[in-house]
Amino acid sequence: MAKDVMCEVSNCQYWEQGNRCTASSINVVGHRSPSDSRETDCSTFVARA
């Protein structure tokens, strides 16, 4: 399991300086067999208030 999860989506409430994700877990959805990252989505995203 990855120790650090990197995220560049700075308007997510789990985003932290240095592109770190502070969510306790993540959920990625998309195609069952994606051929590149554009075919996946992170459903953990929550917009910052």
- What's residue 25's pLDDT? 92
> For residues 24 and 32, is the Cβ–Cβ distance under 8 A?
no
Phi, psi values for residue 8, rounded to 5°: -105, 10
Range of the domain at 8: 1-29+36-49
How many domains would you assign to the chain?
A: 1
User: How is residue 47 annotated by DSSP?
Assistant: B
Please report, in tens digits, the pLDDT of each residue of the chain (49 residues total): 678 899 999 999 999 999 999 999 999 998 889 888 888 899 999 999 8
